[in-house]
Amino acid sequence: MNITASEPASGPWNPKRILAALRADASIGEVLAGADIEARYLNDWSGEEGGRPLALVRPHDTAEIARVLSLCHAGRCPVVPQGGLTGLAGGATPIEGCVLVSLERMSGVVELDPASATMTVLAGTPLQVVQEAAQAAGFLFALDLGARGSCQIGGNIATNAGGNRVIRYGMARDLVLGLEAVLPDGTVLSMMNKMVKNNAGPDLKHLFIGTEGTLGIITQAVLRLHPGVSGANTALVAAPDFGSAIKLLRHAQHLLGGRVSAFEMMWQDYYAAATTAGGIAAPLPATYPLYVLLDLQAAAPEEDAARFEAMLEHALAEGWIADAAVAQSHTQTQAFWELRDAISEMLRTFAPTINFDVSAPISGIEECVARMREALARDFPGVRAIYFGHVGDGNVHIMVGSLPTDDRKTEQRIEAAFYAIVRSLSGSVSAEHGIGLHKRPWLHYSRNPAELSLIATVKRAIDPHGIMNPGKILAS
């Protein structure tokens, strides 16, 4: 059922009146303000600086969120939705005088429908909880990323998160069948579709996927489940060069029937840092130019083992790989994956860092990385960078670290240099983390003027007072 919240007398209200109205409304729970708002709500993982929030609410249900938005709409008060605050673009960072709406109390699985292979969840459910509920019922919820323990499914959908399994299952968008969302004026839009096929006109759920809370708040989702897996055939291989690694990718996809579930590339600098600063055991010596973590998940991985090894042997014979370590147990598979998950630790070790999440056609990635290296060596001597990413889907991450503290000018010059390279290769300034505050100055490198104008038109139509997460993606 769609309900339109009744609208109180509208017009710009001063902060005191907003706070009083929120507190006076019996349908809204605890409203925190000032020093009662804990520091953890004032930043996401990007460390992007924001403003001081007016209030924090942590609603228990959709009706409560509808009431908060209805009041903020009437009083023209900015609203910032917050999920698990693991975002790397500053999307959930508070802006001055906003009401923070944290989804953390709206957590839980509402229904698992085995016949339809769907799971209905509240938006504040942590990704790992969703994964475990799917697994317990014999299914796979395929979205996976390093922040799985803290990020929420609502945040994943709002950022159209990617992660480790995109090469096989697609991004968050591909795993969402239905949504419930609250519009900026408090209207609840229920689109809890369970079907894969539904072409009854435009599919409005996409307005809320990847739009980083700028058009409304996601409150529930119907997720698409895949058949369960019980393990994986996993190998860590060393490749002599980028072209050979891509030949391995295409060969593996062909031989394994398109079922490669991860193809994570780590350039030597990343591998060396993970196995030294990250403290992870090195299954292969750190002397090769490139490493790839290759994973084939399956319901019965033992049935694929021979074919998986034959695939690697052929690649070895062709010279596409120079060395390989095949995981012999689940523990060893996990140990290989720790190499990739070591990034959280390295972000801390090499702070302050600038983190790039870019994509380019796979044929342009080698050039992209080479030109970035050249630019750093030429113009920023002493600045260190490591390169890695979900390269099987065209995504490269670069962590530029050991920067001079508080040197925003150098940061901006490095960003300008790197994003210009990405633009020249027809790549994207954001592969999977979104735009938020951090990448707003570079959005026009990846979206043309007609696209930007239409994004602004849609925003105005749905949020005429511009209260939803203003300043994120587009300038407010």
Closest to 439 (Cα-Cα) out of 410, 411, 401, 400: 411
Which 130-149 residues touch ligand FAD, going by CB under 6 A? 145-147
Closest to 290 (Cα-Cα) out of 256, 327, 246, 250: 246
State the minimum distance, in angstroms, from the CB of residue 127 to ligand FAD: 8
Which 436-465 residues touch ligand FAD, going by CB under 6 A? 436
Which 11-30 residues touch ligand FAD, going by CB under 6 A? none
State the minimum distance, in angstroms, from the CB of residue 229 to ligand FAD: 19
Closest to 339 (Cα-Cα) out of 429, 414, 397, 277: 277
Query: Which CB, 244 or 428, lies closer to ligand FAD?
Result: 428
- Give yes or no for residue 84 binding ligand FAD (CB under 6 A): yes
- Give yes or no for residue 262 binding ligand FAD (CB under 6 A): no
Residues 437 and 471 sit within 8 Å (Cβ to Cβ): yes
Q: Which two tokens stand for residue 159?
A: 């950022």
Indicate the angle between helix axes 242-255 and 301-318, nearest 10 degrees. Answer: 140
- Give yes or no for residue 470 binding ligand FAD (CB under 6 A): no
Burial 420-457 (b: 16+ CB within 10 A, else e): ebbbebebbbbbbbbbbbbbbebbebbbeeeeeeebee
- Give yes or no for residue 184 binding ligand FAD (CB under 6 A): no
Question: Coil, strand or helix: which one is 69?
Answer: helix
State the minimum distance, in angstroms, from the CB of residue 403 to ligand FAD: 19
- Give yes or no for residue 467 binding ligand FAD (CB under 6 A): no
**Window contacting ligand FAD (CB under 6 A); options: 87-95, 310-318, 325-333, 348-356:** 87-95
**Window contacting ligand FAD (CB under 6 A); options: 80-88, 187-195, 403-411, 415-423:** 80-88
Query: Which CB, 82 or 244, lies closer to ligand FAD?
Result: 82
Q: Which two tokens stand for residue 332?
A: 């060893």
CA distances to 230, 232, 355 from 300, rounded to whole Å, are: 6, 8, 37
Query: Which CB, 75 or 81, lies closer to ligand FAD?
Result: 81
Residues 406 and 419 sit within 8 Å (Cβ to Cβ): no
Beta bridge partners of 396: 358
State the minimum distance, in angstroms, from the CB of residue 434 to ligand FAD: 6
State the minimum distance, in angstroms, from the CB of residue 302 to ligand FAD: 28
Distance separating alpha carbons of residues 275 and 334, to the nearest angstrom: 15
- Give yes or no for residue 186 binding ligand FAD (CB under 6 A): no
Which 97-136 residues touch ligand FAD, going by CB under 6 A? 103, 123
**Window contacting ligand FAD (CB under 6 A); options: 34-42, 81-89, 259-267, 332-340:** 81-89
State the minimum distance, in angstroms, from the CB of residue 189 to ligand FAD: 12
Query: Which CB, 69 or 322, lies closer to ligand FAD?
Result: 69
Please give the distance of CA 349 from its chain centroid, rounded to a whole number.
22
Query: Which CB, 86 or 131, lies closer to ligand FAD?
Result: 86
- Give yes or no for residue 44 binding ligand FAD (CB under 6 A): yes
**Window contacting ligand FAD (CB under 6 A); options: 152-160, 264-272, 325-333, 442-450:** 152-160
Residues 73 and 467 sit within 8 Å (Cβ to Cβ): yes
Q: How many residues bind ligand FAD (CB under 6 A)?
A: 39
- Give yes or no for residue 191 binding ligand FAD (CB under 6 A): no
Distance separating alpha carbons of residues 32 and 21, to the nearest angstrom: 13
Q: Of all residues in this chain, which one has the CB nearest to ligand FAD in the complex? A: 155
Q: Which two tokens stand for residue 174?
A: 């591909």
Rg of the Cα trace of the chain?
23
Residues 377 and 313 sit within 8 Å (Cβ to Cβ): no
What does the per-residue mask of binding to ligand FAD show for 306-345, with x meaning CB under 6 A?
A: -------------------------------------xx-
Distance separating alpha carbons of residues 270 and 255, to the nearest angstrom: 29
Query: Which CB, 44 or 304, lies closer to ligand FAD?
Result: 44
Residues 53 and 97 sit within 8 Å (Cβ to Cβ): yes
Per CB under 6 A, the list member of 70, 118, 131, 159 interacting with ligand FAD is: 159
Question: Coil, strand or helix: which one is 136?
Answer: helix
Indicate the angle between helix axes 62-75 and 15-24, nearest 10 degrees. Answer: 150
Q: Are strands 55-57 and 99-102 parallel, antiparallel or unpaired?
A: parallel
Closest to 196 (Cα-Cα) out of 174, 211, 179: 174
- Give yes or no for residue 82 binding ligand FAD (CB under 6 A): yes
Per CB under 6 A, the list member of 28, 77, 92, 266 interacting with ligand FAD is: 92
Q: Which two tokens stand for residue 89?
A: 């673009």
Per CB under 6 A, the list member of 73, 371, 459, 472 interacting with ligand FAD is: 472
Per CB under 6 A, the list member of 433, 438, 439, 459 interacting with ligand FAD is: 433
- Give yes or no for residue 354 binding ligand FAD (CB under 6 A): no
State the minimum distance, in angstroms, from the CB of residue 347 to ligand FAD: 7
Interaction site with ligand FAD (CB under 6 A): 44-45, 80-88, 91-92, 103, 123, 145-147, 151-152, 154-156, 158-159, 161-163, 212-213, 217-218, 343-344, 432-433, 436, 469, 472
